[in-house]
Each structure stands twice: as C-alpha cells, then as structure tokens.
Chain A
Amino acid sequence: MKKLVSVSASSFLTLMMLSACSDTGSEEASSDQGEWSPTNNLEFVAPAGAGGGWDTTARMAAQAFEEAGIVDVGIGVINREGGGGAVGWSYIANQAGDPHYLFAASPPLLLIPLNGQSEYSYEDFTPIANVIADFGAFAVRDDAPWQDLNELFEDMQDESSSITVVGESAPGSMDHVQFVNIAKAAGVDPGSITYVSAQDGSAMTNLLNGSVDVYSTGVTETIEQVRAGEVRVLAVTAEERLEGDTVEDYPTAIEQGIDEVFVNWRGFFGPPDMTEAEVEYYVNAFTELNESEEWDAVRERYSWDEYFMVGEEYKQFLEEQNEEMRLLLEELDLYGESE
C-alpha cells in the first residue's frame, strides 16, 4: 500500500514537471543532445494474463529495477491479454514513437505471427535486451511404459500407435513446437504427432487421468507432480542439466543422443521507431539489471538461466530463431495457412 502511494505520488510529480516544461518539447530536446532518459513513468506490458511467464518476467524486472534503483521513474506493469499476445502487440505498435512502453517477449512473438495470427511480427518492434531463458520438459505418468525419450519416440514412429501429446498453448505455439522440434530431430514425422491443446489449464489433469500420454510444458510446472511421484520427466530441452532440487535429475535430450535443444528465451522489446539514444538508455539499464544482486535473486527463485543479449547479437539470434521456427511450422503445415 505504501508503495502504491509513493508510485502515485511520484507519477504526480512527474506530471507536474511534464506540464511545466511541455512547451519546450522535452523529448526532442534531449534526443538532440544524443542522450535520453525517461520523462514519464514507464509501462511494462505483459501481452498475457496475470501469473503467466510474460507477466512474471515483466513484474519481476519492474520490481528489480525499482529496488536496485536503476530507473528513476515509476514502472507500472499492465496486462494486455488476448490472441496469444496479438492484442498486446498491436497496443504497443500503436505507441510508436513513445519510448516509455516496453513489453516482455518470448518465442510466441515469432510463432504467432508465423501462424498468421498477428498483423505485427518481431520485426515491427525494437529489440532491447534478452534477459533470461528457461526450458521445456516432457512429462509422462509414473506408470507409463517409456523409460526414456528414445523409447517414446520409437513407439511414436510405429503407425499403429495412438500416442497423444497435450500442451497448454495453441497448436503451432510453444508447447507444441518445442515437442515437435525435439521429436523431429529423433526422426519422428512432425505431421504424425497428435497434439491436443488444453488452454483452460486442464493439461496436467488430462495427463494424470490417462486421457493423454505426454505433457509438453515448462520445467517449473512439472516439479511438484514429480516430487509427489505422479509423473516422470523424460527430457528437458536444455543443453545441459539444470541446477536445483528435483530438476537436476531431469535428463536432457542431448544426453539421450538427440542433438536438439529448445530455448524459451525471454526479453524485452520496445515500440517501433525508437531512436538510438532511447535504445542505448534501455540497453544500459538492462545491462545494469542483469548484473544486479536483486535480479540474481529473482533468477534463482524461479530457476531461470541467465541469457543476456543486446544489440546486433540479439537481432541475429532472433533472425536465426525465426528461420528455424518457420521451417518447422512449414513442415507442420501450419505456416501462414490462414491467408
């Protein structure tokens, strides 16, 4: 409550300042000098509902920014839910030219536009910095017949099998694609994979009651059920084993001889048409965040991996990822089929 008051007080102050100097056009003035800093409160947009991955990333980053004193203005986090992110992205696109808006992003920013479900793609926005990564996990019931990933994929290659995979995302988005990506590397035909989408949160229930056979999800979602002995994780999509209780026992796909990974990268993007000075301000801020104790504590709390990238490196990474996803979706017969 106290924080709320202080945030609103500070926003009131900035408003007063803004109106005091509005006739001089503060934004233009500062970008002429080659440096820029926010003149107003920042808004971090999570293009999804409260409690999800984007939301947590945005909220935690906002909190750490304020706690570590990196940003002088207040940061509000708002949720713009809808269309797997499309609603939030079009909101940001409408803020073109106002650098006070950032949004949290991850692979769906590539996948949803590739599926033809968003008029804006990652190229329309200004990539600022990638901060973290986490990974996918494939879970089966404890009494399932498969002891490792290869046994599962062998069974899937047998045409008479009726193995179904469940995930929380839409077909052609995260949970589906991360599974297909690994399965394809093991020689399974992507088109033959039966994927059921359970967006109402019933995915784990359906795995437990035997409606489906495999649950493709994030690592954290599996931990409690694994500890209770209800499910087993056949593989994680990371390059190396993860650190932490329980998750350190999850084998990677690579160590089972399937040379493929899937990174759920998470970073921040800004609206279109940001100036160099504006980008530089944020790059510096995120670099400082990445090295701060506060952010380190956050990473540890959620067992997120550090995955920091800015500038050209980030752009190139995104291009490569996008190309990889495009090829994968093409094979799934999902790519751009809507128009």
Chain B
Amino acid sequence: MALTVHRGVSIVLIIIAIFYLYLAFQLPSFMNTVIDADTIPKITGFLLIILSVLYFFMPVKETEVEKEKRTEAKNDWHYILGMFIMTFLYITLLEVSGFLVTSIVFIFVCTRMLGYKKWKTNSIVSVLVPLFLYLSFTFLLNVRLPTGFMPF
C-alpha cells in the first residue's frame, strides 16, 4: 500500500474535514430548533470524510498527463514563490505607501523579475497604468484608493 499522490491528497482532505467538524461541534445551540446552525456544517464535514476515504481506497493511477501537470512548475517554482511574496508585500504596503507608489514599484519589479528586459517600456507602463487606474477610480468613479503618506 504505497503512499501515492492521490492518497496523500485524501489524507490532507480528511484532516481538513476533521478540523472543520471539530469547530462545528463547538458551535453553541440556539433555542429549540432541530435544524440548527451546525447541522449543515456537520453533514458537509462527514460527507467530505466519507468521500475522502473512498477516494483513498480507489485504484487511481496517475496518468502521464496528470503527472506533467503536477510537476510542470518544477523549473519555475521560485518564480511562483517570488510572485506570491511580492504580492504579499504589495498588499502589506498598500495602505502604508499608497496605491500609486506601491503599484508602480510592484509592476516594475515584478515585470523585470519575470524576465522582461526593455526597461524603458517597463517604466512607462508601470507609471501610466497605475496613474490611469488611480485617476479614473478617484475622479470618475468616486472610489477612494489609499493615498498612504503621499498627498495623493
């Protein structure tokens, strides 16, 4: 009984379901209703466990195509990770430094990181697009975007 990919996945799902059920069983009960706030979550949690267990014992064999899809990122995983880290920083700094500054830096650095080398085009786009978005949101749509420490 080897631990194949699909068995690993089903174990993860079972853990998620158990955690969810644990929380569901802690929900307070309300008045005297039979179908309470915890009914549907409990059903959902148990169903997921049942399906995951079924899936665990299913004779699933990973096809070549599936394997390729799963491992397609093997040469690029650091780009993907870099992208997520960049986005994380972008979000964290959004209200601190304001939409304009953060977006300009984000677009420029990200585009460069992913391998675009024409720095002139890159600078123009990374300034113009956020500026256009900022102006149209603020003045045309009346939606306030964070200004941060900048006056606008």
Whether the Cβ atoms of B28 and A337 lie closer than 8 Å is yes
In the complex, chain B residues 98-151 whose Cβ is within 8 Å of any chain A Cβ: 138-139, 142, 144, 151
With a CB–CB cut-off of 8 A, which chain B residues contact A15? 151-152
A4 interface neighbour in B28, B32, B142, B152, Cβ under 8 Å? B142
User: Contacts A4-B142, A8-B138, A8-B139 known; A333 to B31 CB distance under 8 Å?
Assistant: yes
Whether the Cβ atoms of B31 and A191 lie closer than 8 Å is yes
With a CB–CB cut-off of 8 A, which chain A residues contact B142? 4
B51 CB, nearest partner CB in chain A, Å: 29
B52 CB, nearest partner CB in chain A, Å: 30
With a CB–CB cut-off of 8 A, which chain B residues contact A333? 30-31
Once bound together, how far apart are the Cα atoms of A339 and B151, in whole Å? 43
With a CB–CB cut-off of 8 A, which chain B residues contact A160? none
Once bound together, how far apart are the Cα atoms of A338 and B138, in whole Å? 41
Nearest B residue to A5 via CB reads B139
A78 interface neighbour in B32, B139, B144, B151, Cβ under 8 Å? B144
Once bound together, how far apart are the Cα atoms of A8 and B134, in whole Å? 14
A19 interface neighbour in B30, B138, B144, B151, Cβ under 8 Å? B151
- Chain B's interface size range is 10 to 19
Chain B contact surface mostly: loop
With a CB–CB cut-off of 8 A, which chain A residues contact B30? 171, 333-334, 337
B62 CB, nearest partner CB in chain A, Å: 43
Once bound together, how far apart are the Cα atoms of A191 and B32, in whole Å? 9
In the complex, chain A residues 1-43 whose Cβ is within 8 Å of any chain B Cβ: 4, 8, 15, 19
Nearest B residue to A12 via CB reads B152
B104 CB, nearest partner CB in chain A, Å: 20
B99 CB, nearest partner CB in chain A, Å: 16
Whether the Cβ atoms of A338 and B139 lie closer than 8 Å is no
> What residues of chain B have their CB less than 8 Å away from a CB belonging to chain A?
28, 30-32, 138-139, 142, 144, 151-152
> What residues of chain A have their CB less than 8 Å away from a CB belonging to chain B?
4, 8, 15, 19, 76, 78, 171, 191, 332-334, 337-338
20 pairs of residues in contact across A and B, judged by CB atoms under 8 Å:
A4-B139, A4-B142, A8-B138, A8-B139, A15-B151, A15-B152, A19-B151, A76-B144, A78-B144, A171-B30, A191-B31, A191-B32, A332-B31, A333-B30, A333-B31, A334-B30, A334-B31, A337-B28, A337-B30, A338-B28
3 smallest CB-CB distances across A and B, nearest first, come from A337-B28, A15-B151, A19-B151
17 more A-B residue pairs beyond the given contacts A4-B139, A15-B152, A334-B31, with a C-beta to C-beta distance below 8 A: A4-B142, A8-B138, A8-B139, A15-B151, A19-B151, A76-B144, A78-B144, A171-B30, A191-B31, A191-B32, A332-B31, A333-B30, A333-B31, A334-B30, A337-B28, A337-B30, A338-B28
